[in-house]
Amino acid sequence: MVMMKKYLSYIGCFLTLLCVCGDLWAGSNVMVGKNASKDGSTFCTYSADSYYLYGELSYYPATNNAKYMQTDIYGWDTHRYQGKIDEVSVTYAVLGNINEHQVCITESTFGGRKELVDTTGVLDYGNLIYITLQRSKTAQEAIQVMTDLVNKYGYCSMGETFSIADPNEVWIMEMIGKGPDVKGAVWVALRVPDDCICAHTNHSRITTFPLNDRDNCKYSRDVISFAKEMGYFNGKNKDFSFSDAYDPMSFSARRFCDARVWSIYRKVNPDMEKYIDYVLGKSDERMPLWVKPAHKVSLLELKNLMRDHFENSPLALTNDVGAEPFGADYRFEPRFWEYKGETYFNESPIAGPKNAFSFVAQMRSWLPSKIGGVLWFGVDDATFTVYVPIYCGTTQVPNCFKTGNGSLLEFSWDSAYWVFNWVSNMAYGKYKYMAPDIRKVQSEFEQKLEDNLDVVEEAAQSLYRKSPDYANRFLTEYSENQASIMMSQWKSLGEFLMVKYADGNIKRERNGIFIDNGWGVPNDIQTPGYSDSYYQRVVDETGEKFKVKGEAR
């Protein structure tokens, strides 16, 4: 019921310490306080990154449960049976990572001390998120539910950072278990100031915290004493750092995890550029947990933050030979590679082929919850995805995102994950040429969706006043229709790209219409070849092998 096996592919696999900032899994989260956003919304973004993860969207309807009912819990990653938990009398509807009351919970795994995994615990981080969403009406209530659950049933995941948000508050919480056969967890939760944004990406970010500010800081009673008992910390309580105790700094944490946080922060506050030395290992001054943006952050800006590639920075992926021959702004895995006995790495931006899905969750206090909460959802590489609005009042997931529509081993033309993969994978081979064509269609479609919001939501509110069910049906149909239009447009885009760039050439077109000579033959075909830097390498490596001797024909 609550944790159906068919949903187990949704959130990702169990993260070992090696994988947290390694080749297979990652996740990027941005939280925005209501006074830091342009329209007063709170926001929570998330990217789920894994080549073992299929891009789809789950939906759990609200339920009324019999007394003494229990729910079987299966591992979010292992699929093995882990135990039972007591059900509650009423559960709330959950769409992906947001529920009908506009409570949103996302995560990034930091791993931390591997000896602290309680292998006997019933709940892992994935189960914990979705069960909590089914039982919480506010962010603070969610924190209480999460900590009560792990105390009662045990916590079998590694260290996690959670984003927990509602229309009024945004919290960051970090949690790690206490070892085999020990129920509960040590944890800290801090309220993000309303005028700030906060980000986390697979490394623990909470260092010191106020011990006497219960309105804005909550923590387990033994979070410090347990660290002392385990030998992770031996100083004064006021100097205790959760991150340093439970997830010590490493090269990977800086370069692959905090680097993504830095890239987010520098785009909303130019003062954060100075922390590039920390990312590069030249300084030990850590970034602040949250920052006040230099301007109010918009919905569009948050979508584009999920598409970040370290542009215009020393970490930009277009600055070295790895971008050749067509200006690639990504790197395929593995992250680490070897040459002549030395180990090297590729940069790890937020967006890229590893994205299975991503979203921007928007929560608005001035609207009824089922209208105010919107999950802007997209699949595959965030660089080229389209974020479609799916409302909290939705009672059915659009077919192209629906669980069971295709899989990692089953292509489906009805699946957004596969249609977007098809287009993205064409672009990877001709990046600098195809990317602008894709982004043009992407931008126009997303702008149209945002432009339509006022009219759509005014209609939804009018229906809501008559009956919430009317509004729910209307919003469900609206999201389904927009997703269907998007699918049709993306298939057409893929066909257009195939024709325009077939065989390494470029056919001329005007406003999407190919120019022919009147006989169905291209009027002109461009042969762009390769970049000067690529030709330079060829000459440097081959000398005069390919030099034309005499007249070129």
pLDDT at 135 over 60: yes
pLDDT at 553: 65
Confidence tier at 48 by pLDDT (50, 70, 90):
very high
Q: Is the pTM of this model over 0.75?
A: yes
Cβ distance 397 to 415 under 8 Å? no
| Residue 249 contacts residue 211 (beta carbons within 8 Å) | no
SS3 398: coil
**Using CA of residue 202, residue 172, residue 293, residue 47, what is the dihedral sign?**
positive
> What pLDDT band is residue 120 in, cutting at 50, 70 and 90?
very high
73-102: average pLDDT: 94
pLDDT of residue 23: 40
Contact 43, 364 (CB under 8 A): no
Q: Please report the pLDDT score of residue 139 as a whole number.
A: 98
Identify whether the C-beta of residue 417 lies closer than 8 Å to the C-beta of residue 55.
yes
Q: How large is the average pLDDT for residues 108-117? A: 95
pLDDT (average), residues 39-44: 98
Q: What average pLDDT does the segment 246-265 reach?
A: 95
The pLDDT score that the predictor gives to residue 520 is 77
* Cβ–Cβ under 8 Å, residues 194 and 166: no
15 CB-side CA count, 13 A: 32
157-199 pLDDT tens trace: 999 999 999 999 999 999 999 999 999 999 999 999 999 999 9
Interval 373-396 mean pLDDT = 97
Q: Is the pLDDT reported for residue 539 higher than 60? A: yes
Q: What is the DSSP string of 240-298?
A: --HHHHHS---HHIIIIIIHHHHHHHHHH-GGGGGGHHHHTTS---PPPSEE--SSPBP
H-assigned helices in 64-105 = none
DSSP-assigned states of every residue in 172-218 = EEEEEE--TT--SEEEEEEEPPTT-EEEESSS----S--TT-TTTEE
Residue 8, pLDDT score: 32
Q: For tokens 């000459």, what's the residue?
A: 539
> Could you tell me the pLDDT band of residue 21, with boundaries at 50, 70 and 90?
very low
Q: What percent of the chain has pLDDT over 70?
A: 95
Q: Provide the residue type at 163 as one letter.
A: S
What SS3 state is found at 126? helix
User: What SS3 class is residue 341?
Assistant: coil
Q: pLDDT-based confidence at 431, cuts 50/70/90?
A: very high
pLDDT surpasses 50 at 1: no
List pLDDT tens digits, range 222-234: 999 999 999 999 9
Burial of 470 (0-12, 13-18, 19+ CB in 10 A): middle
pLDDT at 319 over 80: yes
**How many C-beta atoms lie closer than 10 Å to residue 532's C-beta?**
8
* Long-range CB contacts (within 8 A, 24+) of 534-542: 534/324, 534/325, 537/321, 537/324
CA dist., res. 457 & res. 341, Å (int): 60
